[in-house]
Chain A
Amino acid sequence: MTALLRVEGISKSFRGLKAVSNGSFELSRGTINALIGPNGAGKTTIFNMIAGVFAPDSGALFFKDRPIHGLRPDEICSAGIGRTFQIVKPFAGLTVLENVMVGAFLREKTAAGSRATSLRIIEKLRLKAEQPASTLTLPDRKRLEVARALATRPELLLLDEVMAGLRPTETDEMVEVFRELNRSEGTTILLIEHVMRAVMALAGHVGVLHHGEVIARGTPQEIVRDPKVLECYLGEETEV
């Protein structure tokens, strides 16, 4: 089976600081994958390169065997890659429903269609459709990020720390949402997560990033026993 997303040796520096160096990995269709690593490891930078926020300095990205490096974020989204922002970016002047409808309009031609799709997603994520986005709590803002991205009906969903700040029961609910999505729609997922509870429950494959380099990969069980991983997390707070 060919990979849905192929990342080949991508690097990115910010004014001399190497945020990501020579990162490579592949995501198979229909899998759930996690990217973990300490703060500043370069995880979000990898997302931003996949999502087209900026092009890699070197290396290449292929989605369904089509090169996507150099495309704009909206082109990447249209191609079928949805993303959430770690630092949430709600449309504060709009309601939850209106926020999600913006995403749904990518595939829905009419307002009625977009509305129907959005209401289904909003219910799944236990948000209130008519609530102004500006009054949402942080966990709900994260849910809104997810709802909006889902509304674009992505084949690959990039989730940047969407469980941060959720209570354990809420985390489990969110995990269930992604499992169900993966099962019913076959959506491929790549999540960045510090909450190991979620990573262990969801991911079949985990990559560990440290100082911009992939230092380990494997199943969650292999990863938590890897001495290199334990070393880079030493002194870091992790919730297992």
Chain B
Amino acid sequence: MTRTAALLLALLASLAALPAFAGPYGLSVAILILYFAYAGQAWNVMMGFAGQLSLGHALYVGVAGYVAGGLFFHYEVPPIVGLPAAVIACTLFGLVIGFLAFRFRISGVYFALLTIAFAEFTRIGFDHLAWTGGPGGMFLKVAQRNTWDLANFRGPPAMYYYAILAMCSLAFVACFFLLRSKAGFYWQAIRENEDAAQALGINVFRWKMAAVAASSAMTSFAGVFFAFYYNNLFPEQIFNISRSIEIILAPVIGGVGTLFGPILGAVVLTGLSEGITESLAALGWEIPGVKQVFYGLVLLGVVMFLPNGIWPFLSRKFKL
């Protein structure tokens, strides 16, 4: 445990120093890695901890992005105010889905289908909303690129990097304590065996709702980050099911239900795939789809040889 803590501190220190020597491209890859680590951590609360498979987490990214982005675009409400609004909106969405599913005892694959359906309905809905700009998208004004303006979330790439690094660190610490609290124990009990959990006095409905609320609230931060980092939002893209799948890949590869899984998975997937694409480009080979093939191969390898993910294997091997 102390060894793990020391490793973590070393990692955090080197990550904090990274912008000093990484170029713009390196920084953008690092931001992408941390983004997926964060979103994966948020998804992991629902699936990894509580065992509720969501295949529609793009819903929360999109709703949060549009709420904070829209408030900024239309009324110049700064994201520091838009963020709480986005958190509330996403939590409400999560609670509605959870209520419908858990009240009517929809679980497993059917629950996953319900989450997809909601993301799809929302995509279609947003396509027809004038307020969001419809299928034509919403574009946020890009300004003030050189100074840090945290309230408006406008600044140089390093600011976005440190913001997502802080989000990742906080999410990690929050999940660390959640797992060791009553909530973590109750969620894992529900994941392992609902009947036994209920027989030990756990109100399964309430605690599942809590898991969905926590996960959707956490994911909304990723959505707001996404909106102000990329500055453009299209329902067709942000709510797309491939976005939801993208979010779950890192924790699945790294280890569902583990604290390090989402981080490790994001490093392996995004880091290596960007690295391979870059190296090939440097050699003068531009192969379209190489990233997707790489994702497929990693996924295949993990499923075949490390069905619990990379982290459980590493932690056993190195006694972390």
Contacts and interface: CB of A to CB of B under 8 A. Distances in A.
B198 interface: yes
Contacts of A111: 180-182, 185
Q: Interface centre among A73, A83, A92, A149, by most B CB within 10 Å?
A: A73
Contacts, number: 76
Given A91-B192, A94-B192, A77 B185 contact: no
Contact of A51 (B186, B199, B202, B203): B199
B201 interface: yes
B195 interface: yes
Contacts of B204: 74
Nearest to B191: A93
Contact of B201 (A77, A94, A98): A77
B185 A74 contact: no
Q: B interface, how many residues as a size bin?
A: 20 to 34
B198 to A, nearest CB: 4
Interface SS of B by simple majority: helix
B199 A73 contact: yes
Q: A interface, how many residues as a size bin?
A: 20 to 34
A171 B106 CA distance: 41
Contacts of A152: 200-201
A148 interface: yes
Given A92-B192, A111-B180, A106 B199 contact: no
Contacts of B201: 74, 77-78, 103, 106, 152
Contact of B188 (A93, A114, A148, A149): A93
B193 A91 contact: yes
Given A74-B202, A74-B203, A111-B181, A91 B186 contact: no
A178 interface: no
Contacts of A208: none
B241 interface: no
A101 interface: yes
Given A74-B203, A74-B204, A152-B201, A105 B195 contact: no
A98 B182 CA distance: 11
A151 to B, nearest CB: 8
B188 A98 contact: yes
Contacts of A62: none
Given A102-B185, A102-B186, A105-B186, A73 B198 contact: yes
A182 to B, nearest CB: 21
Contacts of A78: 201
Interface string A121-157: 0000000000000000000000000001101100000
A210 to B, nearest CB: 27
Nearest to B183: A105
Contacts of A105: 182, 185-186
Interface string A165-176: 000000000000
Interface in B165-186: 180-182, 185-186
B199 A91 contact: no
A215 B114 CA distance: 50
B189 interface: yes
A91 B192 CA distance: 5
B140 interface: no
Given A74-B198, A74-B203, A102-B188, 5 more contacts: A74-B201, A91-B193, A93-B188, A149-B199, A152-B201
Interface of A: 51, 53, 72-74, 77-78, 83, 85, 89-94, 98, 101-103, 105-106, 109, 111, 114, 148-149, 151-152
23 contacts: A53-B195, A73-B198, A74-B202, A77-B198, A78-B201, A83-B199, A85-B196, A89-B199, A90-B193, A91-B188, A92-B192, A93-B188, A94-B192, A101-B185, A102-B188, A102-B200, A102-B202, A103-B201, A105-B186, A111-B182, A111-B185, A149-B199, A151-B200
Interface of B: 180-182, 185-186, 188-189, 191-193, 195-204, 257
